[in-house]
Every structure is written in structure tokens, then in C-alpha cells.
Amino acid sequence: MISAALNSVLNFVTQKIVVLPEFLQENFVNSISRKDLNVLKISKETTNVAMKLPFANDELRLLEQIRCTITYIGNVLGLVRVLQAGCLRYAYSESRFLRKPASIISYNEEFQKLGSIDGMVTAAKIMDTAVEITHQAEAHVNFFSSLLTTVSKGLQSSEKMPLGDFYLIIPPLIIYSLDFKINGKDKIMRRGLDIVNQIIMDDGFMMGVAFVLKVTEQEKALDGLHWFGNMSEHLHQQLLSLEESKDTEQHTGNSGLTQLKIWGKTGSPISTETKKVIDKIKNYQNELELVHCSLDIAQTIIICN
């Protein structure tokens, strides 16, 4: 059963890897990689609506297709991790009781040579089966590394590297995913749990990204962009600018506080719009940090395998 499942995983991942280059057309990669990486320019006009990303409609459709494909890969790799953990647990548990000497090829054959009774031969067959299953479980533990090797060799054997510029698409993909995720959460907060089933979970996205980066050997190329650091600094500068704007509004509100009290009114030190924008930027900062940590963890898991 597990062997069949793992073979299905290999076929599935291979199919998805083959599909990816169809989305990464040369003109698309060149166009989208030249766009400003710091695209999250948040203003008061974008507090209650989806962010206006600097991508055309056809680019957004391709980004969504790529995101879904990579997420599928990551999700099935999560299944591999579960099967791997189960095999490891089973092999460890059974190895405490099954200690077959190297000189014995088969318990069944040895017991038959000794002229054992039928009950002993039956027990020997059961032990042989248990030993074989344990060996298979031990072999399945290394499936993740075998999957990496198989897919990597398949890509390297191609005359032209089909995913040579994959790392360039990661920043736009992350921005698109951040926007998708944050606005999905906003909808839940505003409308309650009625639309929770409409939110697409993409827990496997970063695992899929880490896997494709690994098999295409582009981890260092992505690191060389220094995108996470630049994006974090960009959001930080936007937040500082808004904090200064908030201080200005607060100062203006305080200056007119005396006049407002005369008429029995309460001063508003900071506008609702400014507060919403500040909260939105902080949400993006938190989600960006979470994505960065998720990618680091996914890459560590893959390296350890």
C-alpha cells in the first residue's frame, strides 16, 4: 500500500514539475521580474479593498495557476512526510523484536531444515513476512531523498533547463499570496464564518517553493536577491512615514481640543483611515515574517532529508 502511494507521489510531483515551465513563459518572466519588488504601496484609499497589485489581469491569472501548482506539490510532500514518519515509527518498533542473524536468509527455510512441526513453520513464515515489511518500511524512510534525486536528475537531463529562472518569480508569487491571504482574513473578520469554506488553504505553498528551488539548485540565486530584507525595510519605512503622519494629526487634534470642548465635543487625535492603514501594514509585516520563517523551515526539512 505504501509503495503504491509513494509511486503515485513520484508520478504526481513529476507531472506538476513538467507543467510549471508552461506557465513560466520567457516574456512573462521578463515582464514580471522587472516590476518594482516593493509593490505594496499602501494608502488610505486601500484600507477596505484588495490591494492594487502592479500586475495585469493575465499576469494575475498565471500567478494564481503557478501558486496552485506549487501548493499541490507542497501538500503532497507533506503526505510524504507523514508516511515517512509512520514508516520510521513502525521500523523502530518492530526492530526491537526482530533480530535476524545475517547467516539466516529465511526463518522458514531454516525451520524446515530442522524438521520442525507445522506450527513452528507457520510461525517462521510469519516472522519472514514481518522482517520483509520492516525492511520495506526502512527503505521508505529514505523516499524523500530519493524523490529529490529523481526529480533533480530528470531536470538536469533536459537539453534546456525548463525552470532556469524560477527564482525570479518567487517575489511576485509571495506578494500575490500575501495579498490573497490577508484579504481573505479581512473578509472572515468582516462577514463572520459564513465564507470560511471559500478561503483556499495554502499551507503547502512554501514547502513547494523550497522543493522546486532545491531540485533546480536556485536557493542561492533567491538569496542573492535579498528580497525579504528589502521588502521588510520598505514596509518599515512606510510605517514610519504613517507614524509621522499620525503624530501630525494628533498634534493638530490637540491644538483644537480646547475649542471643541467649548462646544461639548471630543477631539479625535488620529483619523480612522490612518489607523486602518497602519494596522494593514503591520499585518503585512507579520505575514511576511511568517512566510520567511516558513521558507527557512521548509528548506531545513528538505536539507535534513
**Higher per-residue pLDDT: 133 or 49:** 133
CB 162 within 8 A of CB 20: yes
The pLDDT of residue 265 is: 47
The pLDDT of residue 251 is: 57
Q: What is the mean pLDDT of residues 238-254?
A: 70
Rounded to 5°, angle at Cα 284 from 279 and 289: 125
Helix, strand or coil for residue 204?
coil
Residue 54: HSE in the Cβ half-sphere, 13 Å Cα cutoff: 14
3-state secondary structure 147-197: HHHHHHHHHHCCCCCCCCCHHHHHHHHHHHHHHHHHHHHHHHHHHHHHHHH
Task: Give the residue from 279, 75, 287 showing the smallest Cα distance to 175.
Answer: 287
Whole-angstrom distance, CA of residue 109 vs CA of residue 88: 28
The pLDDT of residue 70 is: 94
Beta carbons within 8 Å of 119's beta carbon, 6+ residues apart:
none
Burial of 156 (0-12, 13-18, 19+ CB in 10 A): exposed
Q: How confident is the model at residue 98 (pLDDT cuts 50, 70, 90)?
A: low
pLDDT over 50 at 76, yes or no: yes
CA distances from 255 to 246, 252, 261, 262, 266 (A): 14, 5, 11, 13, 12
Task: Give the residue from 129, 257, 182 showing the smallest Cα distance to 121.
Answer: 129
Q: How confident is the model at residue 74 (pLDDT cuts 50, 70, 90)?
A: very high
Task: Give the residue from 155, 281, 168, 272 showing the smallest Cα distance to 221.
Answer: 168
Report CA 276 to chain centroid distance, whole Å.
Answer: 28
Name which of 94-103, 185-194, 197-206, 274-283 the model is least confident about. 94-103
Whole-angstrom distance, CA of residue 267 vs CA of residue 258: 9
The pLDDT of residue 255 is: 54
**Higher per-residue pLDDT: 304 or 296:** 296
Q: What is the mean pLDDT of residues 246-258?
A: 57
The pLDDT of residue 209 is: 95
- Identify the domain containing residue 258 by its residue range: 2-304
Q: What is the mean pLDDT of residues 95-119?
A: 63
pLDDT tens for each residue of 40-61: 555 445 444 445 677 778 888 8
Task: Give the residue from 275, 250, 259, 216 showing the smallest Cα distance to 42.
Answer: 275
Q: What is the mean pLDDT of residues 285-295?
A: 93
pLDDT over 80 at 119, yes or no: no
Share of the chain above pLDDT 70, in %: 63
- Cα torsion 79, 193, 42, 230 to 10°: value is -20
CB 206 within 8 A of CB 294: yes
pTM of the model: 0.75
Whole-angstrom distance, CA of residue 268 vs CA of residue 261: 12
Task: Give the residue from 201, 161, 170 showing the smallest Cα distance to 17.
Answer: 161
Q: What is the mean pLDDT of residues 15-33?
A: 80
Domains held by the chain: number? 1
Of the ranges 1-5, 291-295, 300-304, which is most confident?
291-295
The pLDDT of residue 223 is: 93
> Residue 134: in which H helix or E strand, if any?
helix 118-141
Question: All 3 cell numbers of residue 65?
Answer: 495557476
Name which of 136-140, 198-202, 245-249 the model is least confident about. 198-202
